[in-house]
Every structure is written in C-alpha cells, then in structure tokens.
Amino acid sequence: MLKYPPEFWDDKGQLRLPLSYWLILLLQSRSWVLLVLAGVSRQQASTLLGLFYPDPHDFWFGLIGGIPAVAGFLLSGWRQRFPRSWQAWRWVLIFSLLFSFIQPSVAISQDRVQMTPWLIITGVADLLALCWLLLDGRLRDCFNPHLMQAE
C-alpha cells in the first residue's frame, strides 16, 4: 500500500516535490535571483543591489551560499539517475540554511553589521525553511530512496 495518494506521484513513478521545496530553493538562491534581476534591469542594477546588499561582500557571500540551492534546482531533474547524491542533498541544503542563518546572526551579535529589516526577514525565513526541511514528512520522503518510486 502506498503511503501517499496517487496524485502525489508523477508520471515517472517518483514522489512529486512539494511547493515548499521550490520555495526553499528560491529563498536560498535569493542572491542569484537578485543578480538575474539586476542584470535584466541594467541601468538600475547597482541601485537594486545596493538596496538589498549595502555591503558588496554580503552579496558575494550570498552568491556562494546560494550555490547548493542552484545545484539543487539542477539535481532535482536528475534525482532518479543520481539517487545517492539526491539523498545526501537534503543534508547539504540543511547545512546551507543553517550557515545562512548563523552567519548574519553572529555578525549582528559582534556589531559588524547593522540590523536591517531585510536581514531580519531573511533570517526568520531561513529559520522557518530550516525547520520545514527538517520536520516535514513529505519533503523528507522525497529524499528517501525507498520511497522515490511507487510500488
């Protein structure tokens, strides 16, 4: 007997990735999304980047921290072909979210950066996404190799 109803499975027999997975990846790759938006807007690029990242170093750290999410977008299409990598990728995303939450928190506590509303919003969103990635059963099952295919 299946743990999930038939509409939760795709045509390949894989458990569909929930919307929360895609939202978590978008949250983690926010610097990459901003880079694309700045590239499209051309003349307002520096204004747009300066609005969200007053310190350019924070933007570069955001790009580096978003690499696991960008790779997660690519790997999600190949999860049947690389099951071990896919299974481990949940933990890569968890540690990436943990780093993206802890790094600004430590910087704020040491008075290296000024607390801004953007920093608070993204910190709370990172913490919620971390909890969701750890605790959501369906999302956890999407990374389980035994449940990757319908029986």
pLDDT digits (tens, 9 = 90+) for 17-67: 999 999 999 999 999 998 898 888 877 888 888 878 777 788 888 899 899
Average pLDDT for the chain: 86
Least Cα distance to 145 among 78, 74, 83 occurs for: 83
Distance, CA of 39 to CA of 44 (rounded, Å): 9
- In the chain, the percentage of residues whose pLDDT exceeds 70 is 95
Least Cα distance to 31 among 43, 48, 17, 19 occurs for: 48
Task: Check: CB of residue 3 under 8 Å from CB of residue 150.
Answer: no
Whether 2 has a pLDDT exceeding 80, the answer reads no
What pLDDT sits at residue 151? 45
Q: How confident is the model at residue 97 (pLDDT cuts 50, 70, 90)?
A: very high
Distance, CA of 29 to CA of 108 (rounded, Å): 22
Global pTM exceeds 0.95 = no
Whether 150 has a pLDDT exceeding 60, the answer reads no
Whether 120 has a pLDDT exceeding 90, the answer reads no
Least confident of 5-14, 87-96, 136-145: 5-14
Whether 148 has a pLDDT exceeding 60, the answer reads no
Whether 107 has a pLDDT exceeding 90, the answer reads no
